[in-house]
Amino acid sequence: MRRLNAFFATITVPPILWQVIFFLVPLIFLVVMTFWSVQNYRLKPDFTFTNWQKVLAAGYFYDIYLRTFLYAAAATVITSIVAFPVSLFLGLNAGPRFRIVAIFLLICPFFTSYLVRTYSWQVIISDNGIINTMLGAVGIGQVAMLNTFVGTMIGYATFFLPLVILLQFASIAAIDRDLIQAAHNLRCGRLRTIFAVVVPSAKVGLTVGAAFAFILAFGDFVAPSLLGGGRSPTLSILIIDTVKSASDWPRASVVAMAMIVTMMGVIFAALTFAYRKPGETH
Amino acid sequence: MTSTPAIELRNISKIFNGTTAVSDVNLSISDGEFIAFIGPSGCGKTTTLRMIAGLEQPTAGEIASYGKRVDQLKPWERDTPLVWQNFALFPFMSVAENVAFGLKMMRLPEAEIKKRIAEWMERVGILQLRDRAISQLSGGQKQRVALARALVTQPRILLLDEPLGALDAHLRIKMQSELKTLQQETGITFIYVTHNQSEALAMANLVAVMNEGRIQQLGSPNQVYRAPSNRFVAQFVGMNNLIDGEVAAIDGEHCMIRAGSNSFSVPAANKPSPGDKVTFIISADLVAIESAEAPQRENQIAATFRGEEFIGSVVTMFFETEYGAEFKVQQQQRAVQKLGLKFGDRVNLSWTANDSFMLL
């Protein structure tokens, strides 16, 4: 018995220790810091609610929060919808060899830094970039993409579209084919089967894919600043500005807290939705 | 009953990547029939069923249902619901939602759907489970949900693919009689696939024995059991002993067959001529066991007791004879006890001439 306990201790203690040291402790430190103050650009341990009051009273905070939330939500919906037909084809129709090649190609983008990939988009979508040059050649005027909402969305997709496809694909490929055939057998046509059987069967993968998209977009700094132009700031841009221009770590921590709480709420909601059992709503 | 067949298979073949699964099958299934396809795995029975459902496209041939060609229709355009071996219930729906699925697809009014699903859930005894999740059901309950889901659409034909395969033995027997009753009450044509011959013989009025993609015999349970049409059917259905020999003489209704050191009298149903190589069978349950000292009879062979196997109250005993090491005799357990045989005991096995059957 004692040996068994020792065994479980050796396998469970390291990850717990890791979580505590690298997640819980910094998180607690972050919370603590929201109550500190800054004097002459220097941090001073304190216990004041000023940071919270200032941030939560600022109108721009809510504008930025709402924008970040909507951007992330839009990115979630767009990437999920764009990814779905691809995942569907890979999961249900593609042959085994095609699948392996496709998975390899989906992993490839992660070989290079996200930052590099984002910069390369600037070359493609800027006003004098590849796309606009080609559009000009066929007589279509310039379409502004860089430093717009479209640019930000392209950046987000660069960041996590492959990941969303992989997550969706994995759960679609795991669907019991008999269920799809059973639906066909009960007069459910091909398109209807996708919504009646495939989507609910792959619910966990689709939801986790969407949750990842939301979290990554919500916390991302690169896409909104490099492709979105940074003129419509998001919360991560706000944090960077707060730290850079004012060295106000405590106020940045308050913004960070708002982000962490939001993301936790979203994950919790997503997981509750993904794992809800049938019949529980009745 | 209509006179046009519920299902007609005309020269149906199916080839998967060069492997022939079904080979030139012709079959007409009457309306209201309970037909069972039996055969070993890979014999083509499930493929045949799946072609009727449209889940598999025949490589060649035509399928008609009530006089109308259906082989070009998509599965969802056909009216042949299937009960799956693994049930294939939708795990993300409740019991009632599963049963309602087919009706929703038919776009029936909500009130009609409610009425019909309640009716069928009541009929198969799952009404009290209506709001349960599928994962909370036992195998038998899942089977009933699958049945209700298929029958609620009021089909004229029901396809069943090893529907009792995943149930335990006790439940299987119970469901057998329920299925049989259900078929008789509804008059729906049942097309039933199983590898379990006792299931098929107990329920169906018509049995199609398949092997290597072909129908080996089509007949009543009694016909395939007592009068197999060839060697395969004789070995697959029932428990038969096969003896190969040569016709020595013909004597009216019977002929004498020489096989090894014995000669046997066998009904000469198919008019053989002397010198023909033939095979006859004797069913294990029609063989009598006597002591080696008993008086000589016709159709008797010497044997050594080698082993036994119990299935309920019936015992299968294995004897070594000059025709092989596994001559089978089936008796009631009580009768076997009275004999008091030990392994290695020498006995005589015998049977009445009219109980043996010559293969064509």
Pair type for strands B277-283 and B357-358: antiparallel
Contacts of A122 (CB under 8 A, 6+ apart): A129, A146, A226, A227
Assess: ipTM above 0.90: no
Q: Compute the distance between CA of residue B234 and CA of residue B216 in angstroms, rounded to an integer.
A: 10
Q: What is the mean pLDDT of chain B?
A: 93
Considering only CB atoms, which chain B residues are within 8 Å of A187? 76-77, 102, 105-106, 153
Section B221-230 average pLDDT? 93
- Residue A181: closest CA among chain B residues belongs to which residue? B55
For chains A and B, CB pairs below 8 A equal 75
Q: Is B271 on the interface with A (CB under 8 A)?
A: no
Chosen for mutation from A175, A184, A186 (greatest number of chain B CBs closer than 10 Å) is: A186
* Per-residue model confidence (pLDDT) at position B188: 97
Confidence of residue A282 (pLDDT cuts 50, 70, 90): very low
Q: How does pLDDT run across B148-174, given as a tens digit for each residue?
A: 999 999 999 999 999 998 888 888 889
Instruction: Identify the pLDDT of residue A176.
Output: 95
* pLDDT tens readout for residues B109-149: 999 999 999 999 999 999 999 999 999 999 999 999 999 99
- The closest alpha carbon to B44, from B193, B243, B170, belongs to B193
Say how far apart CA A247 and CA A38 lie, in whole Å: 8
Average pLDDT over residues A41-58: 92
Measured CA to CA in angstroms, residue B341 lies from B201, B286, B294, B303 at distances of 32, 18, 15, 12
Q: How many CB atoms lie within 10 A of CB A102?
A: 17
**CB within 8 Å: A182 and B88:** yes
- Taking only the tens place, the pLDDT of each residue in A191-211 is 999 999 999 999 999 999 999
Specify the pTM. 0.86
- What is the distance between the alpha carbons of residues B233 and B245, in angstroms, rounded to a whole number? 19
Residue A246 makes CB contacts below 8 A (sequence gap 6+) with: A38, A41
Determine contact, residues B267/B320, Cβ cutoff 8 Å. Answer: no
Residue B2 has pLDDT above 70, yes or no: no
Where do the domains of chain A lie, and which CATH numbers do they carry?
60-275 (1.10.3720.10)
pLDDT of residue B16: 94
**What is the per-residue pLDDT for A276?**
86
Query: Do residues A19 and A36 touch, judged by C-beta distance below 8 A?
Result: no
CB contact under 8 A, B86 and A178: yes
Q: Residue B226: which residues within 8 A CB-CB, separation 6 or more?
A: B238, B283, B357
| pLDDT band at A218; cut points 50, 70, 90 | very high
pLDDT of A281 strictly over 50: no
Both tokens of A142, joined, read: 């310039």
Binned at pLDDT 50, 70 and 90, residue A278 comes out as low
Per the DSSP assignment, residues forming a β-bridge with B211 are: B214
Residue B286: per-residue pLDDT = 94
